[in-house]
Amino acid sequence: MVCPETSSDEPLTPAGRLFLQPETDLVIHCIIRGKNPADMDAIKSAIKSSLMVQHPRFCSLLVRDKNGFEHWRKTPIDIGQHVIVVNNRLDKSGNFIDQTQGSTTTEEDDEAAVNQYVADLSVSSPLSTDKPLWELHVLTAHKCAVFRIHHSLGDGISLMSMLMANCRRADDAEALPRMVPDKKTVIKGEKGRDWFWLFGVLWWLLKMVVFTLFFSMEFVLRSLLVSDEKTAITGGDGVELWPRKLATAKFLLDDMKLIKRAVPDTTINDVLLGMVSSGLSRYLDHRTPNVLHEGLRMTGVAMVNIRPQPGLQDLSKLMKSNTKARWGNKFGVILIPVYYHKGGNDPLEYLKRAKAMVDKKKHSLEAYFSYKIGDLVLSLLGPKYACMLNYKLLCNTTFTLSNVAGPLEEISLAGNPLSSIKVNTSSLPQALTMHMLSYAGKAEMQILVAKDIIPDPEFLAKCFEYALLEMKEAVLRTNKA
């Protein structure tokens, strides 16, 4: 929409302009499933009174001035334009089922139908600029809703924090969801600062400088020149336009925590990466047996929240412009290599390799470097060239991976208890993107694939699930020994 600029218009941030480029036009999808049938009056009433429609980003049109620069312009919200109701039941291919013939469906059929509906949205349905850049699709027959929110409005942490601010705990209608466990305060004695302490600090700083230089140089090379070797799961230029399929891998957080405790100082992210490495190796063995060489590198792209406070944020702090935990796109990018290995005797080797790599990444400033480089390119050269670099990085790598810690207990939205929450994004040049979110003791990973490259994402999901169970069994055997 091209309009003359007014004094009340607010210019987009450089990151917001990046996500409006055709090659990186990204929409975040949040799939929520209720335990009860959808009450449309309650849903619309909840939206009208929510913090979401009070936020300036959610009640502003995207307009362009005569010079082509984008701005946000406040506009009245018409809820009816944003809420799209689908009353017909869908089949596993995303097609409408003839209700007059009658049919019985399982929970797995329901999930597959919703997944395909979202997969189709991921490629063929950009958000209209005639209204603020968000929608809510309510699939009444599946007790499910899909939030579609443009990435220019904010990153995953901002948008999930917004959603959680409008939810309440299922066991307490007045309480906000708990995102992280309550931590016990531990009082430690102060250590003496001797020469050994000074040597340790200097060694730590030296490693940080070395790792930062190494990983930053690798990041630049991946953005410009170096690409992964081709495999059965490799995407590339133009693949973001190919048809998609979506599958879900399901895990228990208790299993992940059991494995985490088996290797000292391990995190859930380490377990996730070890599981992905094992699962991809298993899948590639199935697709191309005895073809790939041992140790083949597959590079992933991970988004890292660089706000001072990790995890989901207090919405009131995000909406203050003078706080470090501000609203918007505040993330850096790191490269996370995984390696193809044939199955061995110890499944935990995948975890140990992943942990060793992630420890080095944590010790570097790669995420901050990538954020500052992106900001600098956007400011000096504009979103077109920043988009070219970002797109090239995605073409040169194999997959995208993210993990967000969600509510600890079951929550409700508009008075309806939720049985699951899942997230993903619209399509990228990579043929494989994976987004995991934990909720009430479970973790579900959405696996979005280009179906002409990866035709069986359900099998890939099983590879990941089996990889976790294999690591769990290895831990239990060790504990019994």
pLDDT in tens, the chain (481 residues): 555 555 578 888 777 788 888 888 899 999 999 999 988 999 999 888 888 888 888 999 998 887 778 889 999 999 999 999 999 888 888 787 766 555 667 888 889 999 999 999 999 788 998 999 999 999 999 999 999 999 988 887 778 888 888 888 888 888 888 876 655 544 455 555 677 778 888 888 999 999 999 999 999 999 888 999 999 999 999 999 999 999 999 999 999 999 999 999 999 999 999 999 999 999 999 999 888 999 999 999 998 887 765 545 455 455 555 444 456 677 889 999 999 998 766 899 999 999 999 999 989 999 889 888 888 888 888 888 888 999 999 999 999 999 988 888 999 998 899 999 999 999 999 999 999 999 999 999 999 999 999 999 999 999 999 999 999 999 998 888 6
Q: How far apart are CA 94 and CA 113, in angstroms?
A: 5
Domain 206-480 has CATH 3.40.640.10: no
Q: Tell me the CATH class for 10-169.
A: alpha beta
Residues 6 or more apart from 246 whose CB is under 8 A from it? 115, 116, 118, 119, 122, 424, 446, 447, 448, 449, 457
Q: Which residues contact 136 (CB under 8 A, 6 or more apart)?
A: 43, 47, 82, 83, 84, 145, 146, 147, 148
Q: How far apart are CA 281 and CA 349, in angstroms?
A: 13
Q: Are 139 and 145 in contact (CB under 8 A)?
A: yes
User: How far is Cα of residue 426 from the mean position of the Cα atoms in its chain?
Assistant: 11
Distance CA 391, CA 24 (A): 7
Are 6 and 64 contacting, i.e. CB atoms less than 8 angstroms apart? Answer: no
pTM: 0.90
Residue positions annotated with a catalytic role: 151
- Helix (H, G, I), strand (E, B), or coil: what is residue 221? helix
Kindly report the number of other CB atoms within 10 A of residue 136's CB atom.
20
Bridge-based pairing state of the strands 442-450 and 432-439 = antiparallel
Report which DSSP code applies to 77: -
Backbone angles phi and psi of 374, in degrees to 5: -60, -40
Same fold, 10-169 and 206-480: yes
Instruction: Provide the residue ranges of all domains of the chain, joining segments of one domain with +.
Output: 10-169, 206-480
**Residues of the chain by 3-state class (helix, strand, coil), percent to 5:** 40, 20, 35
